[in-house]
Amino acid sequence: MAITYRPCGPSDSYFDKAMAEKRKKGIVKRGGWEIAKKVLKAIPIIGPVFIVAFAGHDIKKKGLVAGAVHVGLDATPVVGTAKNVVEIFTGDWIPDKADRNQASNEPPQPRPEGP
């Protein structure tokens, strides 16, 4: 059995391509305004002003508890900046009310029969 050397570098595996495609779709899927809000919230000095300004909208969109957690994380100086930078590429960590309701209303998948 021969061991082959593969140099470190950009990988062209299926997983890497799928993740890149998912990231690209996530960025394109959201509108420019959503990305602009994330960037504005991530700026350390003026970010808290935008967080307070959008707090009511976020709480209304996500629900009371989830919205309050979302705004609280955004308002925390280092954590909020890191969270918003990551969310620019991955999407929201805390789903909106409509997303949660849609996921819970889906019929359960049938379980495969075992041997």
Is residue 72, in this structure, part of any structural domain at all? yes
Side-chain half-sphere CA neighbours of 6 within 13 A: 7
70: number of Cβ within 10 Å: 24
Decide if 86 is inside a domain: yes
* Domain-embedded: residue 64: yes
At residue 78, the pLDDT reads 86
19 domain residue, yes or no? no
The predicted structure's pLDDT at residue 111: 64
In a domain, 112, yes or no: no
Determine the structural domain holding residue 58 and report its residue range. 28-104
Q: What is the pLDDT of residue 64?
A: 93
Along the chain (115 residues), what's the average pLDDT of each consecutive run of 10 residues? 57 66 65 78 82 90 92 88 84 81 61 64
Domains of the chain: total: 1
Whole-number Å distance between alpha carbons of 51 and 45: 11
pTM of the model: 0.56
Helix residue ranges per DSSP H, the chain: 14-29, 32-42, 47-62, 64-75, 77-90, 97-104
